[in-house]
């Protein structure tokens, strides 16, 4: 897994609207909070992302952009975002299956999905916060806010 101080691997993934999201396009502009989750429509994942949506102005503003990533397809993400009212990018690490999660060290080979990995990447592309929980071990989004405020 990536460590604090590592350069975050760049990636381009499609969001729920089939638009490209390019991590490096935020360099010099905003920090990016990257939240990997196992699968859409599951209890823990939905609960974590609902907290983000309720407090979206803290996670997505002039200083920081939040993105979430799972191995689900763009189409699944579209329905998931519409059903839950999510107003932030849900990125599809669908094909090659889990490639970005592997590069960040959070792909669960046994399950075929990503674990719950969280990375805060600063404006220069350097990792400033990491968290790695198993698929069944939920996270506290308040930890992410503390990391954002510490930037």
| DSSP one-letter code for 75 | H
69 labelled catalytic: no
- Residue 69 contacts residue 38 (beta carbons within 8 Å): no
- Any bridge partners for residue 55, and if so which? none
In 42-103, DSSP assigns E strands to 64-70, 90-92
- The single residue of 45, 71, 106, 120 carrying the catalytic annotation is 45
Give the three-class secondary structure for 117: strand
Catalytically active residues are 45
């Amino acid at each position: 897994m990536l460590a604090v101080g590592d350069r975050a691997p760049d990636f381009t993934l499609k969001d729920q609207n089939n638009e490209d999201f390019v991590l490096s396009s935020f360099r010099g502009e905003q920090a990016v909070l990257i939240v990997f989750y196992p699968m859409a429509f599951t209890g823990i994942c939905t609960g974590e992302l609902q907290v983000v949506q309720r407090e979206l102005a803290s996670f997505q503003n002039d200083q920081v952009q939040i993105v979430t990533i799972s191995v689900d397809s763009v189409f699944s993400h579209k329905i998931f975002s519409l059903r839950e009212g999510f107003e932030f990018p849900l990125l599809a690490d669908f094909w090659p299956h889990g490639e970005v999660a592997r590069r960040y060290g959070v792909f669960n080979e046994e399950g075929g999905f990503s674990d719950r990995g969280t990375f805060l990447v600063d404006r220069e592309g350097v990792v400033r916060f990491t968290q790695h929980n198993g698929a069944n071990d939920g996270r506290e989004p308040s930890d992410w806010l503390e990391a954002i405020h510490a930037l």
